[in-house]
Structure 1
Amino acid sequence: MKAMPGRIRIIGGNLRNSRLNVPDLPGLRPTPERVRETLFNWLAPTIAGVRALDLCAGTGALGIEALSRGAAAVQFVEPERASAEALRGNLSRLKAEAADVAQMDAMQFLRGAPRPFGLAFLDPPFALGLWAPLARQMEQGGWLVEGAQIYVESPRGQALALPPNWMPYREGHAGDVSYALYRRSQIVPLS
C-alpha cells in the first residue's frame, strides 16, 4: 500500500475530529471540508437511520461523515485496491461497524441485486465522466427508495444528464467544483 500523504477530518457527529488517512493516488479528490459541512447541514433533518450508498467512495469521507451523523449503514464502493484498503483501515480504526466496502467498479456493483438506499453519494472521478450512466443504472436498477436524496459532485459548469425525476433541492459551488443535492420522485415530470 502507498504511503499516506495526508489526512482529512470528520467534521460532525460522534466521530467528529477523527482523521482519515488519505492515500497518494492520481485523481483522488476528497470532498473539501466546507462542502461536506454544507451538505450535511442540508441533510441534518433526514440523515438519522438512513441507509446510504457511497458510490466511487475514494477516501470514504462522505459515507463516514454520514455514519458519524447517524446513518444506519453505509455501503462503500471503490475499485482502487489502495483506496479500498485505506478505507477499510479507517473504518476499522474508527470502529464503524455499520459499513461494508465492496472493492469493485461502480457499474459492476450496480449490475448486482439492488438493495434500495435512502441516500446516495455520486462523486465519480471527474476524468471518467460517469455521472449519466451511473445515475441511470441507480434509477433503473432499483437502487433508490422513493424520496431518496442523491448528492452529486461535478466540475463547475458541466451539464449533467441525470434522470428527470431527480429534482434539484440545493446546490452550490466551491472553486472549480459544483455540488448539488437532488430528491428522487416516483413521478417523472412532463417535459
Structure 2
Amino acid sequence: MDEEAAQAPARVPGSVPPAIVVMGVAGCGKSAVGIALAAALGAIFIEGDRLHPPENVARMASGEPLTDQLREGWLDAIGRRIAASVGNGQSVVAACSALKRGYRERLRGFCPDIVFLYLEIDPATARERVAGRKGHFMPASLVDSQFAILEPPGTDERALTIDATRPVTDAVADATRLLARVIPGRV
C-alpha cells in the first residue's frame, strides 16, 4: 500500500470526499495510522515524506532541521496531491507533520475542507520510536526540534486529537469514530 491504499468509494452527488491529514511530530505514527485509516475508509494514501525534495531529505539526514522556507515547496506538493485527489472524487488520507498552524493553513489553501488528525505523543516515546526505525532519513536528534516548533491544533481549527501511544488499531478505531462526527455520512 504505497501511494494508494484502496480505490475510493463512489462519490455522493453534491458531496466533497473527505480529505484527512494525519499530523504530528516524527515518531508519532503518521504513516502507520494513515495507511490503516485509508484502508478502513477506502481512501487513497499520500505519504508526505516521499514528496520532500532530495535537498530537504539530505538536510534532515545530516541532523539539520528544516526552516519554514524549506518546507514551503513540500507543503505545496502535498496540498496539490490532496486537491487533485479530492477533485477526482477520491477520499484521501495524507501523512504530513503539519507542525505549525501556518503549515495547516497553507494546506487548507489547496483544500479548505481538510480535517487534521493530530497524533499526540510525548517527546521520550517519539525519540525512542525514531531511534528504533530502520532506513528512514529522520534521525532521533531532530525530534526535539519538532517539539520546539509544534503548535498543536487550536479549538478553532478543524482538527481531532488522538493518543498516539496506543496501538495503531486503537488509534484508527478512535479516529474513525471521531471523524464520523465531523464528516457525517462520509466516514
Q: TM-score range by the shorter chain?
A: 0.3 to 0.5
The structure with the largest helix share of the pair is 2
Relative contact order higher in (CA < 8 Å, ≥ 6 apart):
2
Higher strand proportion (structure 1 or 2): 1
TM value normalised by structure 1: 0.35
